[in-house]
């Protein structure tokens, strides 16, 4: 529910919104949206994990809610997927884009490519809420940095950390601008960004 309220406050989420929940898993955000709003024009959950999408489609879909499995590559969650990137939506069709703890498990090329797709998919006034690991005075990108954060990072892309300057340069290259930044308050020390089209 907390994230639904933040999407309402920071991204103008309302019952007439088209919301893309990228990395939706089994629909945690969808449950919160259903509890908070009586209805929504379009909630679209997208994920690379088929079993989670299948469960969400069976248990949460209907009346403005839908879920899509995308077989795209991610070295941690779907290593054998397609190298062709997609958000599974049309250009300029999304009012609110949500990606919680997604860019924190992504390589540099995919981060740049998907930020560009986010810029293309947002409506003129659309906004995106994303989280990632960013710090000052660190390498541009690092995978599973030792001694960083509350966990011992294991396996491909368990934690990907960016220098703040480098991540924000990728945001700009994607046609986006930073509307809001909150440092280190999210899961495992991730930071929150609100992005908008430039």
CATH of residue 171: 3.40.50.150
Strand ranges in 27-87 using DSSP code E only, listed in sequence order: 42-47, 65-69
- What span, in angstroms and rounded, lies between the C-alpha atoms of 67 and 44? 6
Do residues 123 and 96 lie in contact, with contact meaning Cβ atoms separated by under 8 Å?
no
Do residues 30 and 21 lie in contact, with contact meaning Cβ atoms separated by under 8 Å?
yes
The DSSP element (H or E) to which 10 belongs, if any, is helix 2-11
Whole-angstrom Cα distance, residue 173 to residue 95?
20
Q: How many domains does the chain have?
A: 1
| pLDDT by residue, tens only, the chain of 198 residues | 899 999 999 999 999 999 999 999 999 999 999 999 989 999 999 999 999 999 999 999 999 999 999 999 999 999 999 999 999 999 999 999 999 999 999 999 999 999 999 999 999 999 999 999 999 999 999 999 999 999 999 999 999 999 999 999 999 999 999 999 999 999 999 999 999 999
Range of the domain at 28: 2-193
What does each C-alpha distance from 183 to 69, 72, 74, 162, 168 come to in angstroms? 31, 30, 26, 13, 13
What pTM value is reported for the model?
Answer: 0.97
Determine the Cα–Cα distance for residues 17 and 1; give it in Å rounded to an integer. 17
Q: Report the chain's terminal Cα–Cα distance, integer Å.
A: 29
9 falls within a domain: yes
Q: Is residue 183 part of a domain?
A: yes
| Structural domain includes residue 198 | no
| Residue 17 within any structural domain of the chain | yes
């Amino acid at each position: 529910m907390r994230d639904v309220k933040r999407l309402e406050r920071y991204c103008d989420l309302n019952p007439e919104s088209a919301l893309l929940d990228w990395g939706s898993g089994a629909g945690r955000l969808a449950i919160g949206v259903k509890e908070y709003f009586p209805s929504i024009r379009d909630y679209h959950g997208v994920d690379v994990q088929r079993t989670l999408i299948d469960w969400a489609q069976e248990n949460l879909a209907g009346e403005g809610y839908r879920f899509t499995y995308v077989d795209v590559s991610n070295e941690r969650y779907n290593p054998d997927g397609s190298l062709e990137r997609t958000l599974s939506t049309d250009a300029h069709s999304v009012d609110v884009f949500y990606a919680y703890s997604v860019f924190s498990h992504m390589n540099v090329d995919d981060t740049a490519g998907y930020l560009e797709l986010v810029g293309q998919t947002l409506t003129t006034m659309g906004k995106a809420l994303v989280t990632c690991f960013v710090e000052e005075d660190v390498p541009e990108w690092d995978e599973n940095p030792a001694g960083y954060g509350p966990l011992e990072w294991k396996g491909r892309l368990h934690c990907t950390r960016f220098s703040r300057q480098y991540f924000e340069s990728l945001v700009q290259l994607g046609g986006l601008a930073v509307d809001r930044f909150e440092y280190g308050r999210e899961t495992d020390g991730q930071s929150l960004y609100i992005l908008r089209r430039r």
